[in-house]
């Protein structure tokens, strides 16, 4: 299939690290993205990684990419209550410049 | 940083009427913009690719006569939902990339459409 898959829910305690996982199916994907969506709002671009990289770090965010297994993860260090949101991973395929295929989204709930 | 803005953020219209949603790139030019639709608690589904100066490209299953797209300038794309019905109620969101940084894809704030 052509689905991007994510786990639907993650509960994490404030101060702990969160890890959100994503798998994709298209080996021609060029870039992979992580977006954050808060209730009723648009999508905030968090970070993206080129498919020939295996890691990218940006402040509290670390993206790991295993191209062989088509597995992508987003780690949020020192998770805060403001990190509670839905996180979407998305793949940009080689032939679809600018088009993104989204996963179903992972709802992250941060508890005190 | 780059910003994509949508207007209106919320709109209520009567069945059978048409409603226009605007998507603007505020500080960059975008020859291509994308329109997505999101139902509550679901993911985003691509509807169409908006091309400046030419016809939009629609995804399979999207009615082009119902969802009219106009990309008249390098900073503005509009989506018009014609003869709206309650099942068209949804969250519509657009995306765009700066021409010189096509890897960064920004989304607008989204527009909630309710058809009554």
The mean pLDDT value for A38-51 works out to: 92
Can you give the three-state secondary structure of chain B, one letter per residue?
CCCEEEECCEEEECCCCCEEEEEEECCCCCCEEEEEEECCCCCEEEEEEEECCCCCEECCCCCCCCEEEEEEECCEEEEEECCCCHHHCEEEEEEECCCCCCCCCEECCCEEEEEC
Q: Does A53 touch chain B (CB under 8 A)?
A: no
For residue range B39-76, list pLDDT tens digits in order.
Answer: 888 899 999 999 888 899 999 999 999 999 999 899 99
pLDDT of the residue at B69: 96
- Residue B103: its pLDDT value, please? 83
For residue B105, what is the nearest residue in chain A, using CA coordinates?
Answer: A98
- Cβ of A35 and B107 within 8 Å? yes
Measured between beta carbons, the chain A residues lying within 8 angstroms of B112 are 40
């Amino acid at each position: 299939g052509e689905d991007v898959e994510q786990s639907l829910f993650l509960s994490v305690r404030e101060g702990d690290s969160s890890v959100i996982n994503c798998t994709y199916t298209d080996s021609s994907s060029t870039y992979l993205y992580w977006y954050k969506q808060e209730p009723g709002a648009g999508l905030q671009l968090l970070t993206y990684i080129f498919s020939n990289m295996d890691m990218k770090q940006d402040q509290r965010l670390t993206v790991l990419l295993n191209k062989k297994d088509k597995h992508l993860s987003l780690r949020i260090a020192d998770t805060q209550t403001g990190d509670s949101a839905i996180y979407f991973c998305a793949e940009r395929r080689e032939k679809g410049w600018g088009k993104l295929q989204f996963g179903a989204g992972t709802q992250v709930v941060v508890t005190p | 940083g780059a910003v994509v803005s949508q207007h209106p953020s919320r709109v209520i219209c009567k069945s059978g009427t048409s409603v226009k949603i605007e998507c603007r790139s505020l500080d960059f030019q975008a020859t291509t913009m994308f329109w997505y639709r999101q139902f509550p608690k679901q993911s985003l589904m691509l509807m169409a690719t908006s091309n400046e100066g030419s016809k939009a490209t629609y995804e399979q299953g999207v009615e082009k006569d119902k969802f009219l797209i106009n990309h008249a300038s390098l900073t503005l794309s509009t989506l018009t939902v014609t003869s709206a019905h309650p099942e068209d109620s949804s969250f519509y969101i657009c995306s765009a990339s700066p021409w010189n940084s096509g890897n960064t894809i920004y989304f607008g704030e989204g527009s909630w459409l309710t058809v009554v």
